[in-house]
Structure 1
Amino acid sequence: MKQGIQVVGLYVRDQDEALAFYVDKLGFRLHTDVRNGPYRWLTVQHPEQPGFQLGLFKPGPPVHDAASAQALSELVAKGAMPPLVLAVDDCRAAYQRLSARGVEFNQPPVERYGAVDAGFRDPSGNGWKMIEAGPARQPEQAS
């Protein structure tokens, strides 16, 4: 049996705004945009990961009632959701490129823990860490 994760969803306040950010600024590609009444299934893909989709979902009916949708939207806007990680070959170069496209970083590239990372948020408040991994480290051996 073959199985794996195909879609991971993010809650966004405005799907059109999120689509523009992920496609125009981060360089993702539109994968699926289907509507079923008020519900919209919207996914994007990173061009180097064609088997994996990032869902850009708006909290609300038919999945959430109005109170739950409002609470989720407020949590996202506050940055309370766990950050996502974007792996890059060169964090400083990616920072320059994405900054030039209008991505606003809340943390410039910093070297720590054997890697370089930077932080930004999407227009809905979802936090991202952009990480350039350092050389692979082997687990420490017990003595």
Structure 2
Amino acid sequence: MITGVNTATVWVLDQDSAKAFFTDKLGLEVRADVPFGEGVRWVTVGAEGQPEVQITLMVPGPPMMDHESAQQLTSLLERGVLIGCTFTVEDCRAAFADLSARGVTFLQEPQPRPWGVSATLRDESGTVHEILQPHRGE
């Protein structure tokens, strides 16, 4: 029986710039940055108050996939059509202002939704993420 989520993957074009984006701009902390085979690194980040969940920043390619699949995934990244994570925030409008000041590119300003107030942003590899202020009690 599944008891929770430990690691989610966000595909990136460059681990160094992705690590800087997720830590310097989004405010996540580095959990790991270690060699993971020849020319591959295991880089993970996560929210300070949620140690049980981490995001691995992976570049498409071996050993995770073959060359052709890596090229296809890289093409999708470059086109900006992949969806990444939803990050919870206490105040979406305040987080939007803070992240905008840090240079984060938003595709949509905070909007009321049935599930809360959310805004969408694009990371430096082209993946779209959401910041969400969930409705209280949900």
TM-score scaled by length of structure 1: 0.87
Q: Distance in 1 between matches of 2:32 and 2:113?
A: 37
Equivalent residue letter for 1:21: F
- Give the corresponding residue for 1:87: 88
Name the counterpart of 1:70.
Answer: 71
Q: Which runs of 5+ in 2 are unaligned?
A: none
Q: How many Å separate the matches in 2 of 1:116 and 1:17?
A: 28
Structure 1's unaligned 5+ residue stretches are 138-143
Alignment of structure 1 residues 25-104 onto 2, 5 Å: 25-35=25-35, 36-104=37-105
Tell me if 1:8 matches 2:24.
Answer: no
Give the conservation status (yes or no) of the 8 Å contact 2:12–2:58. yes
Alignment-derived partner of residue 20 in structure 1: 20
Q: Cα gap change, 1:3/1:25 in structure 2, threshold over 3 Å: closer, same or farther? A: same
- Cα distance, 1:114 vs structure 2: 5.7
Deviations 1:91-143 (A, max 9, x none): 00000010111101010111232621111011111111111122347xxxxxx
What do you get for the CA RMSD once the two structures are aligned? 1.8
Alpha-carbon contact 1:118-1:129 (below 8 Å) kept: yes
- Structure with higher Rg: it is 1
What CA deviation, in whole Å up to 9, does each residue of 1:4-58 have, x standing for no partner? 3211111100000000000000001111111121111110111111111100000
Aligned residue-pair number: 137
Q: Aligned pair in 2 of structure 1 residues 65, 113: CA closer, same or farther (>3 Å)? A: same
